[in-house]
Amino acid sequence: MASIKYDPQGQKGKISYNSDIVSGIVVLSLKETEGIELLQTKNKGIKVSFEREGVYVDVSVIAHYGFNAPDLAYRIQQTIKEMVESMTKYRIAQVDVHVQNVIMPEELAAKAAAEKAEEAPAEAPTENSEEGEN
1-49 pLDDT, tens per residue? 555 555 556 667 777 777 889 999 999 999 999 999 999 888 889 999 9
Count Cβ atoms below 10 Å from residue 71 Cβ, excluding itself: 10
What is the pLDDT confidence band of residue 89, given thresholds at 50, 70 and 90?
confident
Average pLDDT, the chain: 83
- Fold classification of 13-106 is Alpha-Beta Plaits (3.30.70)
Boundaries of every domain in the chain: 13-106
Reported as a single tens digit per residue, the pLDDT across 47-86 is: 999 999 999 999 999 999 999 999 999 999 999 999 999 9
Q: How far apart are CA 61 and CA 44, in angstroms?
A: 8
